[in-house]
Amino acid sequence: EAARALQAQGVQALVVTLHEGAEIGSPGKPADWNDTSCPGLRGDAVDIIKRITPAVDLILTAHTHQGYNCLVDGRPVMQAVAYGRGLSVADLHINTRTGDVDRAKTVARNLPVFNARTDAQHREKILASEQPAYRQALQAARPDPEVAALVQRYAQAAAPQAQRVVGRIARTLDRRGMGDSPAGRLVAQAQWEATRSPAQGGSHFALMNPGGIRTDLVCRGTPPCEVTYGDLFSMQPFGNSLVVMSLTGAEIRELLEQQQRGGADSPLMSPSEGLSYRWVRKAPAGQRARDIRIQGQPLNDSATYRVTVNSFMAEGGDGYTVLQRGRQRLGGAQDLDAMLAQLRQGVADAGPARITVVD
């Protein structure tokens, strides 16, 4: 209706912004955000897009925090990840006589946003992969003085809170590798501790996705090292809440097998205390998670267990669709609050590895 009303006023170039999104690639292994073939395009936005009037020339989406640049029914559908880390740029050629967009001439591209914290090697790698015209534009880009001043103003205002010491760690806890990283184990443990009591959900264990851990927790100086609020916020900046849900043993087994995606031969999620298993890399698909134990006991496929994940995962984020079936859901604290509570218990460490990976 809005499109028809605009066309009645003589507007022919139409763009829709939609806070619903899609995904491409294999679950857990997204495709390149400028791969216009968009392999495996899926998600709630797809059906909506197909129902949008053909008069719309460009659709900008959101919500799933994944980058993509697709051509759906002859028009670009774009998303440049999230949190200002990318920009979707579309050049539309408009016929000055009719006002219509010449879609054959549309040029659409997702571009990264660099800032002072961008790793230099990562920046150069991205620039080397860009088309010459875009590479030159990115190299020539400079911070907008007005925006830079605003950012600086709020950075200064937040500095006292960011620099507040909130705990200590025994060593650097990094996120290298995939599942069962030291940083991942600490985060998962904090989330389990926050939800293990009956009043808080009665969780048997927690699982943490690696994409939700954005930085290492670095020990600066001689251990035990102080950790600031800013360190924790940089590590977990998304403001997810904790969700405790009921899953059967069979669903937990299926969930663990969902880590085997896009050619991955290693587990992806970090578990807390309460869950351990073997991961057999060369086993057939669907049979890699073995000897699964919950609270020290063998997994019972027909039993029901309480599992803690963050709110992003709980809705099937990162391709963990089994979690969408979770029942008897109980919302909990913010993920950052769980980490703060964990650090208040004493000098924090990752604890032992809980996944044994074998060939």
Question: Torsion angle of alpha carbons 294, 299, 301, 304, nearest 10°?
Answer: -20
Strand partners, 87: 111
Specify whether 94 is located in the same domain as 241. no
| Residue 22 domain flag | yes
Residues in Cβ contact with 16 at an 8 Å cutoff, skipping those fewer than 6 apart: 52, 56, 58, 59, 60
In the sheet where 241-248 sits, what is the strand order? 270-271, 205-208, 304-310, 241-248, 327-334
261 pLDDT band, cuts 50/70/90, is low
Tokens of 136: 């030159």
Domain count, the chain: 2
Token pair 């080397």 is found at 128
What's the whole-number mean pLDDT along residues 275-280? 96
Judge whether 210 and 158 are in contact, CB under 8 Å: no
325 pLDDT band, cuts 50/70/90, is very high
pLDDT of residue 299: 98
Judge whether 173 and 217 are in contact, CB under 8 Å: yes
| Residue 141 domain flag | no
Question: Torsion angle of alpha carbons 19, 321, 216, 337, nearest 10°?
Answer: 70
Specify whether 180 is located in the same domain as 308. yes
- The residue from 97, 114, 131 where one domain ends is 114
Specify whether 169 is located in the same domain as 104. no
Token pair 């509570």 is found at 341
Residues in Cβ contact with 94 at an 8 Å cutoff, skipping those fewer than 6 apart: 12, 13, 100, 101, 102
Tokens of 258: 């969902």
pLDDT of residue 75: 95
| Residue 154 domain flag | no
Specify whether 203 is located in the same domain as 322. yes
pLDDT of residue 311: 94
Nearest 5°: the CA angle 245, 247, 251 is: 140
Specify whether 174 is located in the same domain as 103. no
Alpha helices in 167-275 (DSSP H): 182-195, 229-235, 249-257
Start-to-end CA span in the chain (Å): 58
Specify whether 208 is located in the same domain as 71. no
9 pLDDT band, cuts 50/70/90, is very high
| Residue 135 domain flag | no
Specify whether 229 is located in the same domain as 347. yes
The two beta strands, 275-280 and 289-294, are antiparallel
Strand partners, 229: none
Specify whether 44 is located in the same domain as 104. yes
Report the distance separating Cα 309 and Cα 240, nearest Å. 10
Residues of the domain holding 225: 165-358
Specify whether 72 is located in the same domain as 200. no
In the predicted structure, residue 121 carries a pLDDT above the cut 90: no
What's the whole-number mean pLDDT along residues 85-102? 95
Specify whether 227 is located in the same domain as 80. no
Report the distance separating Cα 171 and Cα 223, nearest Å. 6
Token pair 């534009």 is found at 137
Report the distance separating Cα 255 and Cα 41, nearest Å. 22
Q: What percentage of the chain reaches a pLDDT higher than 90?
A: 76
pLDDT of residue 264: 58
pLDDT of residue 27: 52
Q: What percentage of the chain reaches a pLDDT higher than 70?
A: 96
122 pLDDT band, cuts 50/70/90, is confident
Tokens of 198: 């009956």
| Residue 233 domain flag | yes
| Residue 136 domain flag | no
In the predicted structure, residue 180 carries a pLDDT above the cut 90: no
Report the distance separating Cα 250 and Cα 253, nearest Å. 5
The two beta strands, 355-358 and 275-280, are parallel
CATH number of the domain that residue 38 is part of: 3.60.21.10
Specify whether 88 is located in the same domain as 169. no
Burial class (CB in 10 A: 0-12, 13-18, 19+), 43: buried
Report the distance separating Cα 16 and Cα 2, nearest Å. 10
| Residue 329 domain flag | yes
| Residue 144 domain flag | no
265 pLDDT band, cuts 50/70/90, is low
DSSP state of 339: H
266 pLDDT band, cuts 50/70/90, is confident
Judge whether 41 and 30 are in contact, CB under 8 Å: no
Structure pTM? 0.72
82 pLDDT band, cuts 50/70/90, is confident
pLDDT of residue 178: 57
How does the average pLDDT of the chain come out, rounded?
Answer: 92
Report the distance separating Cα 55 and Cα 311, nearest Å. 36
CATH number of the domain that residue 199 is part of: 3.90.780.10
Specify whether 203 is located in the same domain as 318. yes
Least confident span in 29-38, 131-140, 214-223, 349-358:
29-38
HEC string of 288-308?
Answer: CEEEEEECCEECCCCCEEEEE
